[in-house]
Amino acid sequence: MKLMPKLLASAALAAGLALPVAAQDDPFQVGFIYIGTPGDYGWTYEHDQGRLAVEAHFGDRVETVFLENVPEGADAERAITQMILGGADMVFTTSFGYGEATNAVAAQFPDVYFEHATGYLREHPNVSTYNARFYEGRAVLGHIAGQMTESNIIGYIGSYPIPEVIQGINSAFLHAREVNPDVEMRVVWTYTWFDPAVEADAAQALIDAGVDVLMQHTDSTAPQTVAQEAGIISFGQASDMIQFAPLPRVASIIDNWAPYYIRRVGEAMDGTWTQSDIWEGIDTGMVVIGEMTDAIPEDVRASAQAMIDAIGAGEYHPFTGPINRQDGTAWLAEGEVADDGTLAGMMFYVEGMTGDIPN
Amino acid sequence: MIIDPVTLIVALITVATPVLLAAIGELVVEKSGVLNLGVEGMMIMGAVCGFITAQQTGSVALAFAAGMGGGMALALVFAVLTQVLMANQVASGLALTLFGLGLAALLGAGYSGLPVPSVTRPFPEALRDIPVAGPILFSHSILIYIAIGIVAAVWYVLTRTRIGLVIRAVGENHDAAHALGYKVVRIRFATILFGGACAGLGGAFLSVVRVQNWFDGMTAGAGWIALALVVFASWKPWRVLLGAWLFGGIAALQLRLQAADVGVPVALLDASPYIVTIVVLVIISSDRRRAALNAPAALGRVFHASS
């Protein structure tokens, strides 16, 4: 874990300010805890873009600090505490595994605002959680993938078998099947969010199994490189990965945290911040579909855009019945829409998926 | 669905190469009686130096040279610490890994995602198109053939030449070698640098050929597997090659089993290289005489000319 110069500077500043603090002139300090580095061009990169957007939006009124490569677990607690002692008034902890550490520190600092990404633990009134409806974006990618595959086998690199990832697989598969009844989906689990070598190997394994469209739910661009060499199609993940456009990357699913970060920092500054559990998608722009390249046929682009618009307008939910579970039992009846509780705990495949979810 | 053995073999050779390079270098280091636990740090330095050079110069050959240079620079620090200042080798090696990871992150900041030149394949398209033999023998990048060449060279030098005999003598009993007039420190300096160059080359292969990108911490423990591999191979060069392919094969196979929808316990397969290493260690250590024959007797011991 590296202490960034900015944080060092602010820590030194805080140490020097042993005199009474003039709250009026002090910039509001916002801290970010990162699981990786902004250089991953994926997950952490997008959180860092959100941080920069906060800086750009509030100018001198806000100061931001961040810590990168913070391991999940006990070390995170120390890192968050250190950040607050350095003067942070608000902390965003940007990985699922920081949940317990965030709440433990929140108990000690009731005046500091905490925002935990993709989590569910809100044990104290100063802790909020936020997440994006990634499955909405996956539906659009599945819609495109189903029409672009020629081998009728779509590959999916999964990180860990947790509900958030399984939602994405199911959503992508349902919408690929909808436009292409012959489509199959093959899933490889890497058991890591970020290991470029393993991600590249997983991509190669899928390609060798006949996959010609590749989706990923891991953080690095390594699978894109493999897809490019193999001449198949891929989708950017977490960030736009536009450097791989127009091929292999034909579209992407972007986690756009900036509007949320600006909104919450603003609320914290003017005292209107309240605890919340946010789960937003295409409607508020938290999930964005990156530019669809010319490699996608025009009619497919048009129908994909129509789906984006329908989801954004709240007219279409990607999990709308009839949908059966993998074992053939009914899950959603005709026209029924999945409730958030079931989605948040989704540990089953939908009908038509051939593999098993490892436990 | 059945797994295609040809693509499996092609994949496992690629997967195994970074670890193979690092392990064959470490084997020579350990044969001279030095235990360098800094393989991971030297690999990542090679990865970052190789990537930056490839990006800046557009030359793959220079990138590999820079990767070796990066690994050697870090190895030099280790050599000075352990051979001149006589620091503890285990502690210095661990420090080297931590230092290498941090320094590489610093050097590589801002380079992620930049394009690198593609690596040429030495054999023509016609050879690669031969069924079965073509992909397995002729489809790889040049560095994979170099890696196998290094294994052969290490085997030849260690077992068939005078230099190899001297290196082994230093590793078995540095006091006796010193008494015979061999420059123990100088020889160990050379082997440590060779180990650094190999580890750096392995790292450069990872960033320039396999992933074609730079990420912090991208070696993700490959250096530690290389260290295990040397023990697994009981300090024999060809066994390092076999072991690397076995480990690589398991990694490549488990991903393919998943891709083929074969219900296998992934965690068990992932752990299997380590289980195999433990089994081999148990078998080796069950025969004390053989273990003593294989492990360099002076491994990890500090040499002081006056002692």
Q: For tokens 């089953």, what's the residue?
A: A348
Contacts of B267 in chain A (CB under 8 A): 191, 358
Give CA angle at B16 (B13, B21), nearest 5°.
Answer: 115
| Residue-wise pLDDT tens digits, B279-289 | 776 776 676 66
B263:A356 CB<8 A: yes
A187:B258 CB<8 A: yes
Contacts of B111 in chain A (CB under 8 A): 39
3-state secondary structure (DSSP) of residue A128:
strand
Please give the Cα distance from A35 to A29 (Å, whole number). Answer: 20
Q: How far is A112 from chain B (nearest CA, A)?
A: 31
What is the overall mean pLDDT for chain A? Answer: 88
Contacts of B13 in chain A (CB under 8 A): none
A197:B108 CB<8 A: no
Which residue in chain A is spatially nearest to B7 when comparing CA positions? A208
* Residue with more model confidence, A121 or A15: A121
| Residue-wise pLDDT tens digits, A178-229 | 999 999 999 999 888 878 888 999 999 999 999 999 999 988 888 998 999 8
Q: How far is B78 from chain A (nearest CA, A)?
A: 23
* Residue with more model confidence, B115 or B186: B186
Q: For tokens 């990923």, what's the residue?
A: A216
B261:A37 CB<8 A: no
Write out the two tokens for A113.
């605002």
pLDDT at B276 over 80: no
CATH, range A134-255+288-344? 3.40.50.2300
Please give the Cα distance from B92 to B203 (Å, whole number). Answer: 20
- Which of the four pLDDT bands, split at 50, 70 and 90, describes residue A2? very low
Contacts of A211 in chain B (CB under 8 A): 259
Give CA angle at B139 (B138, B145), nearest 5°.
Answer: 65
CB A122 within 8 A of CB A269: no
Task: Judge whether A151 is closer than 8 Å to chain B, CB to CB.
Answer: no
Give CA angle at B178 (B177, B183), nearest 5°.
Answer: 100
B211:A196 CB<8 A: yes
A358:B265 CB<8 A: yes
Question: Which whole-number Å values give the CA distances from A114 to A26, A90, A99, in the listed order?
Answer: 19, 6, 10
- Domains of chain B: residue spans and CATH: 5-294 (1.10.3470)
CA-based nearest residue to A205, from B264, B170, B278: B264
**How far does Cα B139 stand from its chain's mean position?**
22
Contacts of B112 in chain A (CB under 8 A): 39-41
Write out the two tokens for B26.
């470490």
Contacts of B7 in chain A (CB under 8 A): 208
pLDDT score, position B180: 92
pLDDT score, position B133: 81
Q: Classify burial at A242, counting beta carbons within 10 Å of its beta carbon; exposed 0-12, middle 13-18, buried 19 or more.
A: middle
Instruction: Tell me the Cα Rg of chain B.
Output: 20
CB A93 within 8 A of CB A117: yes
A220:B215 CB<8 A: yes
- Which of the four pLDDT bands, split at 50, 70 and 90, describes residue B129? confident
- Continuous segment of H or E residues that includes residue B11: helix B5-31
In chain A, % of residues over pLDDT 90:
68
Which residue in chain B is spatially nearest to A203 when comparing CA positions? B255
The region, left, alpha or beta by phi > 0 then psi within -120 to 50, assigned to residue B199 is alpha
3-state secondary structure (DSSP) of residue B8:
helix
How do strand A2-3 and strand A127-132 relate by DSSP bridges? Answer: unpaired
pLDDT score, position A11: 41
Average pLDDT over residues A271-283: 92
Q: Tell which of A159, A204, A215 to mutate to test the B interface (max B CBs under 10 Å).
A: A204
Question: Which whole-number Å values give the CA distances from A355 to A342, B129, B138, B260, B269, in the listed order?
Answer: 21, 33, 34, 9, 17
Q: Tell which of A37, A201, A243 to mutate to test the B interface (max B CBs under 10 Å).
A: A201
Lowest mean pLDDT among A128-142, B37-51, B212-226: B212-226
Which residue in chain B is spatially nearest to A220 when comparing CA positions? B215
A243:B256 CB<8 A: no
Contacts of B206 in chain A (CB under 8 A): 197
CATH 3.40.50.2300-classified regions of chain A: 2-132, 134-255+288-344
Q: Tell me A337's DSSP state.
A: B
Contacts of A222 in chain B (CB under 8 A): 211, 213
* CATH architecture type of domain A2-132: 3-Layer(aba) Sandwich (3.40)
B218:A196 CB<8 A: yes
Which residue in chain B is spatially nearest to A68 when comparing CA positions? B216
- Which of the four pLDDT bands, split at 50, 70 and 90, describes residue B290? low
Q: How far is A23 from chain B (nearest CA, A)?
A: 35
pLDDT score, position A155: 95
pLDDT at A22 over 50: no
Question: Which whole-number Å values give the CA distances from A192 to A21, B47, B177, B250, in the listed order?
Answer: 44, 20, 48, 17
Contacts of A220 in chain B (CB under 8 A): 211, 213, 215
Contacts of B210 in chain A (CB under 8 A): 197, 200
Q: How far is A6 from chain B (nearest CA, A)?
A: 15
Contacts of B272 in chain A (CB under 8 A): none
Task: Judge whether A201 is closer than 8 Å to chain B, CB to CB.
Answer: yes
- Which of the four pLDDT bands, split at 50, 70 and 90, describes residue B305? confident
- Continuous segment of H or E residues that includes residue B127: helix B125-128
pLDDT at B18 over 60: yes
CB A218 within 8 A of CB A192: yes
Q: pTM value?
A: 0.82
Task: Judge whether A209 is closer than 8 Å to chain B, CB to CB.
Answer: yes
- Which of the four pLDDT bands, split at 50, 70 and 90, describes residue A14? very low
Q: How far is B113 from chain A (nearest CA, A)?
A: 7
Q: Which of B3, B219, B261 sits opposite A355 (nearest CB)?
A: B261
pLDDT score, position A19: 38
pLDDT at B139 over 90: no
DSSP string, A197-251: HHHHHHHHHHHHTT--EEEE-SSSSHHHHHHHHHT-EEEEEES--GGGTTTTEEE
Between the two ends of chain B, the Cα-to-Cα distance in Å is 65
Total residue length of chain B: 307
Task: Judge whether A206 is closer than 8 Å to chain B, CB to CB.
Answer: yes
Write out the two tokens for B73.
């620079």
Total residue length of chain A: 359
Please give the Cα distance from B61 to A255 (Å, whole number). Answer: 38
Which residue in chain B is spatially nearest to A357 when comparing CA positions? B263
Lowest mean pLDDT among A353-357, B64-68, B103-107: A353-357
Q: How far is A14 from chain B (nearest CA, A)?
A: 26
Which residue in chain B is spatially nearest to A223 when comparing CA positions? B211
